[in-house]
Chain A
Amino acid sequence: MLYFSKLRIIFISLFSVLFILIASSNLFKFDDNFFDKKINLGLDLQGGSYLLLEIDNEPVIEQKLQNLTTTIRNYFKEKNIKINNIKIDNQNIFFNVTDDDKQSVLDVFQDENSDLNPYYPRFKSHQLEIEDTGLNFKVNFSRQGLIKLKNSSQDQAIEIVRRRVDEVGTNEPNILKRGNNRILVELPGLDDPMRIKSLLGQTANLTFRFVTSDENDRFGVEKLKFENDLEEAVVSKRIIISGENLLDAQPKMDTQTNQTIVSFTLDRVGAKRFGKATSTGIGKQLAIVLDGKIISAPVVRDTIASGSGQISGGFTFQTATDLALLLRSGALPAPLEIIEERTVGPDLGQDSINAGMIALAIGFMLVIIFMFVKYKIFGLITNVTLIVNLFILLGVLTLFEATLTLPGIAGIILTVGMAVDANVLIFERIKEELKDETNNILAFDGGYTKSRTAILDANITTLLAAIILFFMGSGPVKGFAVTLGVGIFTTLFSVYFIARLFTSIYVSRNKDKEKLI
């Protein structure tokens, strides 16, 4: 156990030096092209916001089913099959058919090449499930159909969230999917997430619709409130143009009225429709509806054929800017709810770093002094190993660009405390061996060999705990699992290669010395 070949010594030295260099690259600025990896600081250390958003898919499902009833009706109309009493109830579509048509309706829904009910060969499932009780049918989304729907609304939502966050211009946001109905947004360096929160909290569904007094409007009507919650107006459900037709939106100052407005440009389709609507609707009120509330309802005075227009509604510059941003980035497919928020101010982050570093320094010093007092020369060896161990640990974290959190720092300190365990096990074993073995080299060799299983067992148990933490924990706790887990490997390396190398050099030079340890 004490023999080292030259090659091995060179390898160990190079390896250690390499990691010391990598670790110190966090402190000194190297040429970025040469080496640009760095330990990331977690949000709890650099300050920032962590937001977990959940997509409320209910309205999407509702909407899809609504569309589906129309599709089903038209589809069977074309095939001359009569569908009666089609209605939606509790997220199910119900309809009934005559006896003659029953089988053909079922066939359409169960055909693998059906264009009404897409089949996913990979999951061996249709999008829709159909159930019949006599001549009554019940249609709803199958499990796979729901998953597909959720995935696609998540895909859309994450895109819109990304656009909105990018528009605000925070540095290096991290936007990730979580499950199939959640989005994680990490915003480093942001100490007041209020604006982003309010931007993400809005669906930003914009429509232009005429205010009507005709209760029997062909498209149906609804009563909507104004933004100020005081007035109400009856608005047609017919959508003239919607947010999808917008090419651009910008906050502007109206020089005539001295008001802040949002000016917008429409795409071709939108411009055409807007032109037509404004030419036929002169004198009528056109309501601008955002997320079910009327921003304003100006009277149409002229045909607007230019494809651009403006929204006024008593905005401040800030609210106009935000509305323009929302309109530019598009509407979310479904409302988002912030179900978890954790925000740390930058000064608290800095305080945490300082406290963590002081604790690390003090913990380190205490352990080093203790080990030196207890084991003298071998304590010194342990301590040098401990320092190298710390550098290798930091080096590995740098190499993997791991995220260091406050509990992560605690994990490093704990590693320092527990790293000596392996050396202590070895040294204590050597002491025992020396009781009936006079040959130093044999005693040391025996000490290393006989303590091996205990050391391995001890480290594997801690590693198991760290692995579970890594997979079950979130955010800061994960950081702890990482440092603790990586610390075990670096500790084993430094104990079995570095400390053993030093020990072997010292022992072979003091072969005949009594009471070596």
Chain B
Amino acid sequence: MIAFNKYYNHFNLLSSLLIVVSLLLLIFKGLNFGIDFKGGTLIELRASDSKINVSSLRDRFNQMDLGDVSVKKFGNDTDFLVKFENKDNKKNIIEEIKANLDKSFGNNYDFRRVENVGPKVSAELLKSGVIAISLSLALMLIYIWIRFEWQFSLGAILALFHDVIVTLGVFSLFSLEINLSIIAAVLTIVGYSMNDTVVIFDRVRENLRKYSDIKIFELTNISINETLSRTIITSATTLLALLAIYFFGGEILKGFSLAMILGVVFGTYSSIYIANTVLVRLRVSQKTVLREDDLK
């Protein structure tokens, strides 16, 4: 049996630190919102001429008076991602750009993807993204509140917040782009982290009913160990699937799968070191679950 409980305090400290740092990052550095949430234009461009590279593209685009233009390589050496604000929301901007690029590069390039999100739409998307995440957290809270005692709910929700905040913190730290698929990833993380926590909690509750003489500090450790191989195997298979998406699923899914990978790692960690420690700190005992049973 691994003595997870020996490190409860250490890891609680670490988690608090991670959350504080993440919050600071989110407040002061902020998130790198993509055009979905910020509005603007995105062009994925494939070149068939080696003359076309990041710097020549940047030169071209900067001459076009589009505001802040970012040009980046996208996967292959021949693929580029161009993003700009399109502040005035010009109507025929894509056609203008094409005409302009034709002059310097002729026919040696191809627009593979064009996205243009107006300011109204991006504001709406951001709002619905925030609502979706809040709603999912609220629903999880209600669900776990129905299924478990309040101490468990608190533990699970704290773990969820930890996972969401720290994942977003990592995205802030490395200025990774937040777009619609990241919201999808965060929601899935919420579901996964909850899943993981519930499995351990289920066991904790079962053990609480079974053993009256074991303190919660020991009992959580027993429960974690009993469910440990399941935790490892499920995380492993989920991570294998996600790694496959990350490495082979193409550039578009990179951000999404990375967010999910982070989420699974944090979710697994928090189920053990946040959710359970809350039970310990709230001094959950057999009475907690038995009283609840009586009421039912």
Contacts and interface: CB of A to CB of B under 8 A. Distances in A.
Interface of A: 44, 52, 54, 194, 197-198, 201, 337-345, 347-348, 351-352, 355-356, 358-360, 362-363, 366-367, 370-371, 374, 406-407, 409-410, 413-414, 416-418, 420-421, 424-425, 428, 432, 450, 453-454, 457-466, 468-469, 472-474, 476-477, 480-481, 484
B237 A461 contact: no
B7 to A, nearest CB: 23
Contact of B190 (A432, A465, A480): A465
A460 B143 contact: yes
Nearest to B128: A472
A414 B139 contact: no
Nearest to B248: A359
A355 B115 contact: no
B252 interface: yes
B199 interface: yes
A356 B249 contact: yes
Interface residues of B, number: 69
Contact of B202 (A337, A348, A457): A457
Contacts of A338: 91, 116, 118
A138 to B, nearest CB: 29
25 contacts: A44-B252, A338-B116, A340-B118, A340-B121, A341-B117, A362-B247, A363-B245, A366-B240, A367-B237, A370-B237, A409-B249, A413-B244, A416-B241, A420-B234, A421-B230, A421-B234, A453-B202, A459-B195, A462-B192, A464-B191, A465-B188, A465-B191, A468-B139, A469-B184, A476-B180
B140 A363 contact: no
A476 B181 contact: yes
Given A355-B250, A356-B253, A428-B229, 15 more contacts: A340-B117, A342-B113, A345-B110, A355-B253, A359-B248, A410-B256, A413-B249, A416-B237, A416-B241, A420-B237, A428-B233, A464-B140, A465-B190, A473-B180, A477-B184
Contacts of B51: none
Contact of B147 (A341, A406, A420, A457): A457
B238 A414 contact: yes
B114 interface: yes
- Greatest chain A CB density within 10 A among B110, B143, B187, B196 is at B187
B260 interface: yes
A417 B112 contact: no
9 closest A-B pairs (Cβ-Cβ)? A417-B241, A363-B244, A465-B191, A355-B250, A472-B132, A359-B249, A339-B118, A461-B194, A462-B191
B181 to A, nearest CB: 6
A253 B192 CA distance: 66
B183 interface: yes
Contacts of B248: 355, 358-359, 362
Nearest to A475: B180
A455 to B, nearest CB: 9
Nearest to B142: A464
B116 A340 contact: yes
Interface in B99-136: 110-118, 120-121, 125, 128-129, 131-132, 135-136
Interface of B: 44, 91-92, 94-95, 110-118, 120-121, 125, 128-129, 131-132, 135-136, 139-140, 143, 147, 180-181, 183-184, 187-188, 190-192, 194-196, 198-199, 202-203, 206, 226-227, 229-230, 233-234, 236-245, 247-250, 252-253, 256-257, 260
A198 B184 CA distance: 33
A345 B113 contact: yes
Contact of A468 (B94, B136, B203): B136
B125 A418 contact: no
Contacts of A417: 237-242
Contacts of A351: 250
Contact of A352 (B187, B241, B252): B252
Contacts of B233: 370, 374, 420, 424, 428
Contacts of B92: 197-198
A458 B197 CA distance: 9
A414 B198 contact: no
Contacts of B194: 461-462
A197 to B, nearest CB: 8
Nearest to A367: B237
A54 B118 CA distance: 11
A343 B184 contact: no
Nearest to B198: A457
A413 B245 contact: yes
A476 B95 CA distance: 26
A348 B199 contact: no
A413 B192 CA distance: 15
B231 to A, nearest CB: 9
Contact of A474 (B91, B115, B180): B180
Nearest to B253: A410
Contacts of B227: 428
Nearest to B194: A461
Contacts of A421: 195, 230, 234, 237-238
A472 B131 contact: yes
Given A338-B116, A343-B113, A414-B241, A424 B234 contact: yes
Nearest to A467: B139
A344 B112 contact: yes
Contact of A370 (B91, B143, B240): B240
- Greatest chain A CB density within 10 A among B125, B183, B191, B242 is at B191
Contacts of A484: 188
Contacts of A480: 181, 184
A386 to B, nearest CB: 10
Nearest to A337: B118
A194 B116 CA distance: 13
A366 B136 contact: no
Given A410-B245, A477-B181, A418 B198 contact: no
Nearest to A453: B202
Contact of A461 (B120, B143, B236): B143
A343 B115 contact: yes
Contacts of A356: 249-250, 253
- Greatest chain A CB density within 10 A among B114, B196, B229, B241 is at B241
Contacts of B190: 465
A342 B131 contact: no
A131 B140 CA distance: 49
Contact of A339 (B120, B188, B191, B236): B120
Nearest to A422: B234
Contacts of B147: 457
A476 B255 CA distance: 15
A205 to B, nearest CB: 18
Contacts of B111: 343, 345
Contact of B184 (A54, A337, A340, A481): A481
Contacts of A457: 147, 195, 198-199, 202
A418 B238 CA distance: 6
A17 to B, nearest CB: 26
A341 B118 CA distance: 9
